[in-house]
Structure formats: structure tokens, C-alpha cells
Amino acid sequence: MTIQWFPGHMAKARRQVTEKLKLIDIVFELVDARIPMSSRNPMIDEIVSSKPRIVLLNKADKADASITKQWIDYFKEREIPAIAIDAQTGTGLKQITALSKVLLKEKFDKMASKGIKPRAIRALIIGIPNVGKSTLINRLAKKNITKTGDRPGVTTAQQWVKVGNELELLDTPGILWPKFEDQLVGFKLATTGAIKDAILNLQEVTVFALNFLREHYPDRLKERFNIDELPNEVVQLFDEIGKKRGCIMPGGYIDYDKTSELVLREIRSDKLGRLSFETPKQFTEQ
Ligand code: G4P
């Protein structure tokens, strides 16, 4: 799902998230492990400041494992616990409840000391479109959706998803916008498939992706496209890949659109292996 964000939409999305925050104990901020900074909302720290938070680095199965580890440390250093997960297969999900209990121990102990009956931890999943929110909710739910909104006196129908006995999720996630006014962020979101191709110029996205791969993963690029020596100019690289893969127009010209589609498809479907498109180092240096 790709949403075109306008100022009105942004304000509404923020309002909706703020309303939901009143109902919950903890926020699970879902980001894409391949681009943990570019796939978050630029105002997230401020928006969720009132609640404890866990960052879930989703799609970790597609990211460079050593860089994901660096990201976990990066967030920890900023006192935000982070876990690498794969919402599709369920890897890492067990840690979520355990960590939530640790983070909320004081609050729940206090409630118990006041004689309040123990209850499940209530959580909200927040993230930009396509980061895997629905996949995660469905994976955690295992058909345990309980409708609590139709009780007499409850006006807003809010469904809770039970995750074991100790955790409940709001069934509709909080959707926030990415920092798309930054062109580099847009390129990274497009390269990983988070935003639809029609929004950005495909060839420009591919130029970004090829330059990035040439700098950070040259051997993968050589191996995948069977290139002995990477040319200095990205245009020559484009040409070589186009030629090798038969993306040729009548007259023998390289079909750049077709080549772009092919390169991006192969990156997104992990044909070049697990890739990360940003590192903590790049952000601490900034
Ligand atoms: P959203 O609710 O946040 O908008 O995202 P959603 O769950 O719809 O997930 C977006 C796409 O990401 C889905 O692919 C989903 O299968 C995939 N996905 C979610 N979590 C993971 C994960 O941990 N690992 C991997 N490899 N994929 C994950 P899709 O329906 O095929 O959409 P698309 O890939 O064609 O965009």
C-alpha cells in the first residue's frame, strides 16, 4: 500500500496515533531492517515520547546480518531496545513479550501494589506503509482476535489481538509517513520496494542502487551480473547489465527502463543476497 501524504493527511495520521496511544502501555515501532532510519517517521521520538517503546527491525531476513547487529547496538545506546525480527516466518517474535514485561515491570508492580487486578500488556504497532505491520499482527494473532468494542457502553469498536495471555495488540496499527522530502530517503524506500515505482523515476532509483552496490557490495554486483571489472561510470554499468541480460531495443540501443526494472526486481527479491542500505556509522557521522 502506498499513501500519498499531504499536510492534512499527516495531521490526521498523527492525531489517530495520538488517540491510540491513550489506550496502550507500550509502542512497537516497526522499521525495515535494511533502512532503519529511512523507514521511520521523522517525528516518531516526539510523537511517542509518552510511552515506552521497542524498535522492531523487520524483514531482517533480507538485511545484512552484521549491519542489523550494529543497528541494534545503535538503538540500545540511545536507550531504545531493539529486536531483529522476520514477521513473515515469525523469527524473533518470542522476544517481544519478554522484553515488554521487563520494560513495564515497574508500572505493573505499582498497579499491583494499588490492588489493581493484573491484566495483559497493551501494545500498539506503528510504522510507515509496507513495513510489515499487517503481516506482524496476523502472525502474532494466530486467530486470537477478541472483539471488545461491542460491549454495552463501549462506543468505539476497538479490537484487541491476543498474543498469548500476557500481551494484547490493537488490531489496527498506527500508520505514519516516512521522511520522503529527503531524496536519498526516497531512493532507499524505492530500492527496497516500500514505495511504488510510479512515484519516482525508475532510472534514477536504479542509478542510486547501482552506485550504492558498487561502493558497498562490488563483489555481489560482479557475481550476479557476470562482470569482471566494474566500470567507473554508472552509465557504462547500466549498459553492461542491459547487454548481458538482453534488455535491447530495436536498433541495438539499451532499454534503460527494462534494465532498471530488472535490477530493482533482483535486488528486492534478494538475488544479490541480503543487503542493507544504511549503517549507523553514516548517521553518527552526520
Ligand atoms: P504494512 O501492513 O505495514 O503496510 O505491510 P504488510 O504487512 O502488508 O507487508 C508488506 C510486504 O512486506 C508484504 O509483501 C509482506 O509479505 C512483506 N513482509 C512483511 N514482513 C516481512 C518479513 O519479515 N520478511 C519479508 N521477507 N517480507 C515481509 P507482499 O504482500 O508480497 O507485498 P510486496 O512485497 O509486493 O510489496
Question: Residue 238 phi/psi, 5° resolution?
Answer: -50, -50
List Cα–Cα distances, 201 to 195, 208, 280, in angstroms.
12, 11, 27
Enumerate residues 6+ apart whose C-beta is below 8 A from 32: 38, 39, 57, 58, 59, 63, 131, 132, 192, 194
The Å distance, Cα 131 to ligand 1 centre, comes to 6
Ligand 1 pocket: which of 2, 32, 64, 88 to mutate (most atoms within 8 A of CB): 88
The Å distance, Cα 200 to ligand 1 centre, comes to 20
Q: Which helix (H) or strand (E) holds 161?
A: strand 159-163
Is the distance from CB of 90 to CB of 63 less than 8 angstroms?
no
Is the distance from CB of 238 to CB of 261 less than 8 angstroms?
no
Residue nearest to atom 22 of ligand 1 (CA): 59
- Amino acid making up residue 194: A
Which SS3 state, helix, strand or coil, does residue 42 take? Answer: coil
The predicted pLDDT at position 189 comes to 96
The number of the ligand 1 atom at minimal distance from the alpha carbon of 137 is 7
Q: What is the pLDDT of residues 67-117, one digit of tens each?
A: 999 999 999 999 999 999 999 999 999 999 999 999 999 999 999 999 999
Q: Indicate if the pLDDT at residue 245 is higher than 80.
A: yes
The number of the ligand 1 atom at minimal distance from the alpha carbon of 173 is 2
Rounded CA gap, 74 and 86, in Å?
19
Rounded CA gap, 81 and 102, in Å?
11
Mean pLDDT across the stretch 228-237?
A: 95
Model-wide pTM > 0.90: yes
Mean pLDDT across the stretch 117-132?
A: 96
Q: Is 218 left (phi over 0), alpha (psi -120 to 50) or beta?
A: alpha
The Å distance, Cα 207 to ligand 1 centre, comes to 25
List Cα–Cα distances, 39 to 36, 93, 185, in angstroms.
5, 20, 8
The cell for 69 is: 547487529
Q: What is the pLDDT of residues 15-65, one digit of tens each?
A: 999 999 999 999 999 999 999 999 999 999 999 999 999 999 999 999 999
The Å distance, Cα 239 to ligand 1 centre, comes to 32
Poorest-pLDDT segment among 75-79, 151-155, 161-165, 254-258: 151-155
The Å distance, Cα 277 to ligand 1 centre, comes to 18
Residue nearest to atom 17 of ligand 1 (CA): 132
Residue nearest to atom 10 of ligand 1 (CA): 130
Rounded CA gap, 213 and 252, in Å?
27
Q: Indicate if the pLDDT at residue 150 is higher than 70.
A: no
- Amino acid making up residue 85: I
ipTM: 0.96
Residue nearest to atom 4 of ligand 1 (CA): 130
The predicted pLDDT at position 2 comes to 61
List all residues whose CB is within 6 A of at least one atom of ligand 1.
1, 58-59, 61-62, 86-88, 127, 129-135, 193
